[in-house]
Structure 1
Amino acid sequence: MKGSKKRLGILGGISAASTQKYYQKLTDLYYSLEKDYYYPEILINSLDFQYFTDLENEKRTTEYIQYIVSSIHQLQKAGADVIIMAANSPHSVYDEVKTRVQVPIISIVETTAQKAKELNLKKVLLTGIKYTMQSDFYQRKFKTYGIDVIVPDEQEQIQIDEIIFKELAIGKFLQSSRESILKIINGKNVDGVILGCTELPLLIKQENCRIPILDTLTLHVEKTLYNLLCKLKER
């Protein structure tokens, strides 16, 4: 990787807490694999989190797509060769976005579905913010892999959503909240759980859970770094 100019563009700030974790995991994993300091060059475009979530909650889809696309274009202009959107929810419009940009976007949903297939999971629970749990982009992708996706009931969705926005997004981690989410997970007849919000892995770990967890943040980081290392070694 010496002398490489390959650049990763991160669409971040959604939220700040998970974007920090992305950066840390990318650099830590790189060093653990390569044992040198020739880290990939990383560009971060940190979005207005409140505006972003307002667009989601108010279902202003056209503006939402436009905001994501224009932000990726800024990363392109800065020299990004590959993009990741450092959150699950913008992948609800992944197909619409990828046709409007000129660089590849590594999908967190595709990556997670591939891992679920590898683990031979048949039925999984999707957790995340309400926007994600009430959308169908995970269900559609997982169906192509022969995997069913279910979501918590309405009250459970509200509870998880509040924990994410009122606690995890600002770096607050409570044992009581961990126990609440685990109770929801353990109450479902599933063989795996998707942590479909990149803040959730900051609270829920595999050692906390009796069934396999799909840590979307870590899976996304691993796929991204694998992509970068392969591309760089081809140069």
Structure 2
Amino acid sequence: MRRIGLLGGMSWHSSIEYYTKINEAVASRLGGHHSARILLDSTDFADIREMQIAEDWAGTDASLVATAQRLVDGGAEAVAIATNLMHKCAPAIESAVDVPLIHIVDSIATVAKRQGYSTLAVLGTKWTMLDDFYTGRLEEQGIRTLVPDEDTCLEIDQIIFDELTQGTFTDASRARYVEIMNDLKARGADAVALSCTEIGLLVPPQTAPLPAIDSVDAHVAAIVEWMMGGGRARS
């Protein structure tokens, strides 16, 4: 089994999901007392959040590169960023470390293509929805993307950072997210990507009004496939 290095803590609520689901998948495959070989470096998210608000992406690049390098120095044979938004830093990390980065967007694209989805609604932070680093990478792999209008993107983003990343999950926010998903379904989405690692905690995929790809589940599947020797990270 290969050893994965997780860049976590963004937020810790979803990092728990990664740790649990990776171990569950490894135990299911190998049985007995087997568990996953994981190195986890969990940041203080407040530091990252300050840089996000300031749009100091050079600062986040430097911080996550340092985290990835610590993981590699500790023996990680590949790294994975346990959050969607901070894949803005993926190019900097890939340039700085000598191991593969298992990219969350590629894992979503793999699931979408396997399930036959051609048009994905993308819900996440405002940068995930509106910047090209995320939807552009999906489009490059032949998957059309739909996002809400800018005002709705800002509403989604506010709920993520005021509530979800702080462990607050309300019925009102759940209902609003489902309403937004229905709007995107009406616009032609045949599935929705839950492209914030906490959205699946608010709206579990089985309760969504259209087929849903939970980014955590998709990413974990790619990570475990690589750990078991059956997958390759895109360079």
TM-score (norm 2): 0.91
Match of 1:171 among 144, 153, 167: 167
Taking the aligned partners of 1:71 and 1:95, their CA distance within structure 2 comes to: 14
What do residues 166-223 of structure 1 show as CA deviations (whole Å, max 9, x unaligned)?
A: 2221222212211110000101211111111101111112221232111110110111
Residues 85/230 of structure 1: CA separation in 2 closer, same or farther (3 Å cut): same
- Asked if the contact 2:181/2:209 (under 8 Å) is kept, the reply is no
Counterpart in the other structure of 2:85: 89
Within 5 Å, give how 1:43-192 maps onto structure 2.
Answer: 43-188=39-184, 189=187, 190-192=189-191
Counterpart in the other structure of 1:9: 5
- Asked if the contact 1:10/1:42 (under 8 Å) is kept, the reply is yes
Q: Unaligned regions of 5+ residues in structure 2, if any?
A: none
Q: Unaligned regions of 5+ residues in structure 1, if any?
A: none
Residue 215 of structure 2 aligns with an amino acid whose one-letter code is: T
* SS of equivalent to 2:137: helix
Counterpart in the other structure of 2:209: 210
User: CA shift at 1:145, angstroms?
Assistant: 2.2
Aligned sequence identity (%): 31
Taking the aligned partners of 1:63 and 1:69, their CA distance within structure 2 comes to: 10
User: CA shift at 1:61, angstroms?
Assistant: 2.1
What do residues 27-57 of structure 1 show as CA deviations (whole Å, max 9, x unaligned)?
A: 1122222222221221111112122122223
User: CA shift at 1:134, angstroms?
Assistant: 2.3
Q: Name which of structure 1's ranges 86-95 and 18-27 shifts more when overlaid on structure 2.
A: 86-95
- Asked if the contact 1:113/1:145 (under 8 Å) is kept, the reply is yes
- Asked if the contact 2:206/2:212 (under 8 Å) is kept, the reply is no
Counterpart in the other structure of 1:194: 193
- Paired residues, what number? 228
Taking the aligned partners of 2:199 and 2:128, their CA distance within structure 1 comes to: 13
How large is the Cα RMSD of the aligned pairs? Answer: 1.7
* SS of equivalent to 2:40: strand
Taking the aligned partners of 2:159 and 2:90, their CA distance within structure 1 comes to: 26
Moved beyond 3 Å, runs of 4+:
none
- Asked if the contact 2:164/2:198 (under 8 Å) is kept, the reply is yes
Taking the aligned partners of 2:210 and 2:177, their CA distance within structure 1 comes to: 13
TM-score (norm 1): 0.91
Q: Name which of structure 1's ranges 83-92 and 138-147 shifts more when overlaid on structure 2.
A: 138-147
What do residues 140-168 of structure 1 show as CA deviations (whole Å, max 9, x unaligned)?
A: 21122222212112222222122222222
- Asked if the contact 2:3/2:75 (under 8 Å) is kept, the reply is yes
User: CA shift at 1:93, angstroms?
Assistant: 3.0
Q: Name which of structure 1's ranges 11-20 and 33-42 shifts more when overlaid on structure 2.
A: 33-42
